[in-house]
Chain A
Amino acid sequence: MPIRRRDFLKLSGAAALLPWPRLSRAADVASLYDLPRFGNARILHMTDTHAQLKPVYFREPSVNIGIGAMAGQPPHLVAKAFLARFGISPDSAEAYAFTCVDFEKSAPRFGRLGGFAHLKTLIDRLRGDVGEKGAMLLDGGDLWQGTGQANEAHGADMVEAANLLGIEAMTGHWEFTYGEAALRDNLARFKGEFLAQNVFLTEEAAFNDAKAFDPASGRVFKPAMIKEIGGHRVAVIGQAFPYVPIAHPKRFTPDWTFGIHDAELQKLVQGMRDYDRVDAVILLSHNGMDVDLKLASRVTGIDIILGGHTHDAVPQPIPVKNAAGTTLVTNAGSNGKFLGVLDLELAKGKVGGVRYRLLPVFSELLKPDPAMATLIERTREPHGAWFDKIATSDRLLYRRGNFSGPMDQLICDALRSGLDAEIALSPGFRWGTTALSGDALTMEDVLAETAVTYPETYVQGMTGADIKAVLEDVCDNLFNPDPYYQQGGDMVRTGGLSYACTPTESTGRRISELRLDDGAPLEANKRYKVAGWASVNAQAGKPVWDVLANYLRSGKAAPTRGSGVTLKGVDGNPGIAQPT
């Protein structure tokens, strides 16, 4: 791709304030990935790849509002405010990777990001730079879910890819939605460790002698491991997504109870410091960044939290002070777009120095690893029918954003049209890839937005009061001023229903001015026909991907429209992109 390579070369000069070495003007653009030696231990961190084995387009959000103490703080910065905070030049490849700025202009120039064959090349190179004994590769979870093939294989394809990539430890979130049997099958084949300090047997399950890593504590999985890197002992503690049985159907994990459990975590950290004599403690977390920032202020003795879940690509670690020192908190984006590189200067019982880089994985700059490319092709091979074009995108289609995105508008339109409903509700997931205007859309693309183990659609009668209660409930998960009461994810998307939202209000008072498409106010006591999918209650309707595919095939997609959400009380919040 000579044109794109030239783009990288041309832009390198403007990238003066990057947190990594400026792109070289010399012939070898890949010098982006030439890191000067630092320290004696290198920890590579990937997270929330959502099973995207092939490179993807993924537009970062233009709305990611923080309120209260979180207002204007990372990760709640978007677009130009983000670039200014991290010193990234607007017209750069990095601006394209980290923000939504000029996305449509930049996507064709800089190409797709991620892809496991490209990741493998980069990981091997970064490991090779420091030698096998000086590095470790960790995955923060949401590795097994996000594509049609991963969903069909219950993540088995991703275990193969993880083994070839050399992942040494991971924790989980969507992994749990395949249920215990599939999860254990996968873990039996996984060569690394699955770590989770915060998953316990329910009391009933413990009473019935359900399988646990440690029956005394009730911990279902190994909570932590110690690895010697660069001659020093590094503890890695796993923190799974704390709200699995709430955010997903409880039937997938009936025997397990989750939660944050920072008191248990504190005991674990203290034990590893006091008895295991570790030199560094890393928390491999799927809490989400706001939760990790709060946790870092309460739990002492953790050197670095390598975070995920909220899909925030944050170029620099955020230092958080606590009673015993400072903990660094990172979040490494999603969809394989980024690889976190944590270089540590380890000494006896302490971390002497830290260098962190969040490297965008530009697929144009990395030669795909042949073995991984072969594995990927082999796992894709049985799904040939999914790669046929079913429609051409007439607009930019993306999902990520607090309230709405064109992809979810399309899903809501498909639900209303296909299931003959006045109102549609669609979950505010943060995964799902981006398609450019003019791109061919395939079943693979449809599944990349919808592949979950509970895809069944439903149509039900709901009163206006019921609908408002749902919106308020989800909105509190997003904007509760205390991050421990947030679940991550974005606002439920609505079709056929517009509303105003005041994120700074208290629980139950954020949503107002609910109106149907025709402008009529939503009436509290009137019943409406509502369609949706991904309900935590068991449903029997056809899978949402068929509803969406049929709608796309019909060629009658409704034209794109505004978000239908009027924001109040957040003027000037840097978590909202300002018009250029």
Chain B
Amino acid sequence: MNFSIEKFSATRRLVLQGTGAVALFGLGGLAAPPARAAANDKYPEEAFKLKTDKDAIQALYGRTAEASDKVKLDAPEIAENGAVVPISVTTTLENVTSISFLVTGNPNALAASYAIPEGTVPGVANRLKMQQTSNVIAIVDAGGKLYSATKEVKVTVGGCGG
């Protein structure tokens, strides 16, 4: 039955996405044999402590990113709930080893970083907590270069719709 297959895959997707706003670094590492995990597969404690997106990217990758339309960042224009903002990234770039999310308006900009094992479809969906209206930046490390996509997500007190 189509129906049950669809339901199964929807459930599976949910499990893969994880829940909550915590950083899920190392999730990819769990799915792959330890030998093939990325070299930077250590919890990046320092990067998560830094305030600004620039510093966090530098600490995480030691490089700067260039904007690319091959990084597809899907985020709402206006968040329905700033505490759980659904944000996802897919990319057509090849040899992706890492995908990270930064929220420029949060006290600590780096929100999540994922190691992408070789042979994995480079797509990540997660939910981020946002303190205020700000840019969300997705970083993709592909073939040794950093690429980014940015979108403003508005966090509003709501009300007063026509």
* Minimum Cβ distance to chain B for residue A234 (Å): 28
Stretch at the interface among B5-13, B40-48, B62-70, B137-145: B5-13
What 0/1 pattern do residues 242 to 265 of A give for CB contact below 8 A with B? 011111101000000111100100
Within residues 91 to 135 of chain B, which ones have a CB less than 8 A from any CB in chain A?
133
- Contact with B157, one of A206, A258, A473 (Cβ below 8 angstroms): A473
A245 vs B6: C-alpha distance when bound (angstroms): 27
What's the A-B contact tally at a CB cutoff of 8 Å?
Answer: 97
* Interface size counted on chain B using CB atoms at 8 A: 25
Complex contact B162–A485 (CB within 8 A): no
Complex contact A206–B78 (CB within 8 A): no
Q: Which residues of the partner chain A approach B11 to less than 8 Å between Cβ atoms?
A: 207
Q: Which residues of the partner chain A approach B10 to less than 8 Å between Cβ atoms?
A: 206-207, 215-216, 218
A225 vs B21: C-alpha distance when bound (angstroms): 38
Complex contact A431–B77 (CB within 8 A): no
The binding surface of chain A is classed by DSSP as loop
Most chain B CB within 10 A, of A246, A260, A482, A492, is at A246
Complex contact A492–B77 (CB within 8 A): no
Complex contact A534–B80 (CB within 8 A): no
In the complex, what residue of chain B is closest to A493 when comparing beta carbons?
A: B160
Within residues 414 to 439 of chain A, which ones have a CB less than 8 A from any CB in chain B?
427-431
Q: Which residues of the partner chain A approach B14 to less than 8 Å between Cβ atoms?
A: 203, 206-207
Q: Which residues of the partner chain A approach B159 to less than 8 Å between Cβ atoms?
A: 247-248, 427, 474, 492, 534-536
Within residues 34 to 84 of chain B, which ones have a CB less than 8 A from any CB in chain A?
74, 76-81
Q: Does A311 contact B (CB under 8 A)?
A: yes
A476 vs B10: C-alpha distance when bound (angstroms): 36
Q: Which residues of the partner chain B approach A429 to less than 8 Å between Cβ atoms?
A: 160, 162
Complex contact A259–B76 (CB within 8 A): yes
Q: Which residues of the partner chain A approach B79 to less than 8 Å between Cβ atoms?
A: 246
Chain B residues at the A interface, C-beta cutoff of 8 Å: 3, 6-7, 10-11, 14, 17, 74, 76-81, 86, 133, 152, 154, 156-162
When A and B form their complex, which 5 residue pairs have the shortest distance between CB atoms, in order from nearest? A247-B161, A489-B162, A430-B162, A216-B6, A488-B162
Task: Known A-B contacts: A250-B80, A428-B160. Give 15 more (CB < 8 A).
Answer: A203-B14, A206-B10, A207-B11, A215-B6, A246-B80, A246-B156, A247-B162, A248-B161, A257-B86, A259-B80, A428-B162, A430-B162, A487-B160, A507-B133, A534-B159
Chain A residues at the B interface, C-beta cutoff of 8 Å: 173, 203, 206-207, 209, 215-216, 218, 241, 243-248, 250, 257-260, 263, 288, 309-311, 427-431, 469-470, 473-474, 476-477, 480, 482, 484-485, 487-490, 492, 507, 534-536
